[in-house]
Amino acid sequence: MDIEQTKAWQRYQKGLEYQSKISLLSKTDKNERFYSGDHWRGIKTNKHPTPILNVTKRIVDWKCSQVMSDLLKMKFTADWISDTDNNPQSQMYREIARLFTEHTTTLWEKLKMDSMNEKGLNKAALSGAMVSYWYWYDKIDAGDGQQGDICGELINASNFFPGDPNMPEINNAYEPVQPYIILSFRQQVEDVRREAKKNGATKEQLELIAADDETKNETGDMAKSEIEDSGKCTVLLHMWKELVDVIEEEQQEVIDPVTGETVIQTIKVNKGQEWKIFAEKCTQSVVVRPKWDTGLHRYPVAIMNWYEREGSAYGEAEATSLIPNQIMINQQAAILALWIKIHGYPKVLYDKSRINQWTNDITTAIPVNGPNDGGVGSAAVYMQPAQIPTVVMNFMEWFIQTTKDMAGANESALGEANPINTSAIIVNSKNAVVPLAAIKRRFYQYVEDVGLIWLDFFMSKYTDYPTRIMQINNGKEQQFVPIDTSVLKNIKFKLKIEVGPANIWNEAAAIQSLDKLLQMQLINFVEYLKRLPDGVIPDKEALIEAREGAEAQQRAQEQQLMQQLMGEKLNALMPYLPKDTVNNLRMLARNDPAAFEQQVRQIVAQTPLPQNQARPYADNVQEVI
């Protein structure tokens, strides 16, 4: 019986055909195999050595860690709101933006974004693209009786099917650009049937949801093997964009034609059109969940290409260009190992007329026959092995080092250099990551795209409740701050990714700069401690607190001494000051102590004691200006 395929499945098949044309799956599988150390598959070695010098894994791991070496933070700001505008509405908008910024830091930790990014970058280095899918999971307890929050997962490049695979973008800064997006998953049949039944599928449709063995399109050799009768099937998530009218309710005053009185009437007003993302979930022949409005205005999918290829959404992998060199390195190592196995050990030459059979058994003596001409030593000798040609070893070392250098992975960057000169290592490591600058920028753009997707959820899903509880964790304490979601529709937000250094070389550079500032006395010791990277000095906070306490006590003592000295000098000057000045000082002492102290300092500094002693009467006071 011919089974009618769903529209999404037909598009899915076209996507598979395109991936086959560009050899996406075969190249990714090969890259993953070499990264995992499976380098000799399918090669008949005739029991010869098969060494593996996995330079590919070394370079890929280092590059992924280097791309992630910076600390990233999403920072939201209210658009068209000045930082200096202090009216209540502007202050409220800035506060909501600050709460979003702090909330994304908490969300980053809850979703384990660092771990997800690490895995995603590894996928990008092996397949060419890191793809993540974000969704609203309504089973999460958000507190205060609210349900639902953001979740996400990584998608293999071979399970990602854009409507236009020649367009590298999914969303631009303002709207979705792909005509549709399809993601494929392997899910348990029981779970799929349960969801389909919940959404109104008939008994006949449920029977069409059956296990299959469509694993040939999964990434990696391991993913192509499932437990027999595991009961899995391929499920598609089909998302597309539609322009919809924006209808809002407004209240207007109208004249009642009967009574002639003015009444308030609620009317619906068309505010224009906007893009909305709709979705459908299906198998090959059954719609598991019919079309629904996600409430989002951009696709909840973010992508990063490791290397960009013109006219390709899938990019190019790091490992693809390394594999030919990896094969060459392994072949050279295999030849050297075979040469050493054959020629690397001394051979025995013995007189067969005097020795019947040679043995290397250390517990067995070797009998020698015949006359003792030349002694027993003349019956057998060891032949020294030949030396490996120097040019061969030099070429091997040169080839491996050049492969690393061309990938930007020199000894300083890989941590293989002896850190004798910190400044030189910092310079070398910075020079080494220059080729990674473009990859890093693409990673930062990917994180920004994820942040914009989160913002879309904030504006569309957090507004399901009149008040949304925002979980804030600033590192010292956890807070739960409510926000009025009714005001969110009136705010436009901007997002910026702040990048801060976090690797060992940046820490070394920071410490070196701080040392110089302290030596030049441009900063004090407490300022030095506060700016040191965490972990350099144990219990740094307690040391800072102790030094600040000691400095505060010293300042108090100095201030007390200074006040005492100024008081003595002021008392000596009082008979020589005009009455207006004295009255002003008394008034400041009562009402403004800070201004009084400043005025006294100025008088003491500018008014010297007269040499001649005047009588303490007002008409004899000499006014000193």
pLDDT tens readout for residues 263-297: 888 888 888 889 999 999 999 999 999 999 999 99
Would 56 be classed as within a structural domain?
no
Would 422 be classed as within a structural domain?
no
How does strand 146-155 pair with strand 180-188? unpaired
CA distances from 228 to 151, 191, 281, 343 (A): 30, 18, 25, 49
| 144 and 198 housed in the same domain | yes
- The predicted pLDDT at position 256 comes to 78
| 114 and 36 housed in the same domain | yes
| 362 and 310 housed in the same domain | no
Quote the number of domains for the chain: 3
Would 607 be classed as within a structural domain?
yes
Supply φ then ψ for residue 48, to 5 degrees.
-80, 165
| 299 and 371 housed in the same domain | no
Q: DSSP secondary-structure letter at 349?
A: E
- The predicted pLDDT at position 618 comes to 44
| 360 and 300 housed in the same domain | no
DSSP string, 371-399: --TT-GGGGEEEEPPPPPPHHHHHHHHHH
Contact (Cβ atoms closer than 8 angstroms) between residue 111 and residue 152: yes
- The predicted pLDDT at position 313 comes to 95
| 315 and 200 housed in the same domain | yes
Q: DSSP secondary-structure letter at 3?
A: P
Would 405 be classed as within a structural domain?
no
Look up the pTM and report it: 0.75
| 369 and 282 housed in the same domain | no
Q: Three-state DSSP class for 151?
A: strand
Would 46 be classed as within a structural domain?
no
Q: Which residues, at least 6 apart from 265, have a Cβ–Cβ distance to it below 8 Å?
A: 251, 252, 253, 254
d(CA 249, CA 583): 67
pLDDT tens per residue, range 503-542: 555 666 677 788 888 888 888 888 888 877 766 677 777 7
Q: DSSP secondary-structure letter at 316?
A: B
d(CA 373, CA 136): 94
Q: Which residues, at least 6 apart from 369, have a Cβ–Cβ distance to it below 8 Å?
A: 353, 354, 355, 356
Residue 311 burial (CB count, 10 A): 9
- The predicted pLDDT at position 406 comes to 78
Domain residues for 558? 552-625
Helix (H) or strand (E) holding 593: helix 593-606
Would 343 be classed as within a structural domain?
no
> At which of 450, 480, 495 does a domain end?
495
Would 591 be classed as within a structural domain?
yes
| 25 and 102 housed in the same domain | yes
d(CA 34, CA 31): 5
| 359 and 314 housed in the same domain | no
- The predicted pLDDT at position 169 comes to 94
d(CA 29, CA 22): 13
Helix (H) or strand (E) holding 196: helix 189-198
> At which of 344, 369, 384 does a domain end?
384
The terminus-to-terminus CA distance of the chain in angstroms comes to 112
Please list the ranges in the chain whose pLDDT falls under 50. 1, 615-625
Would 404 be classed as within a structural domain?
no
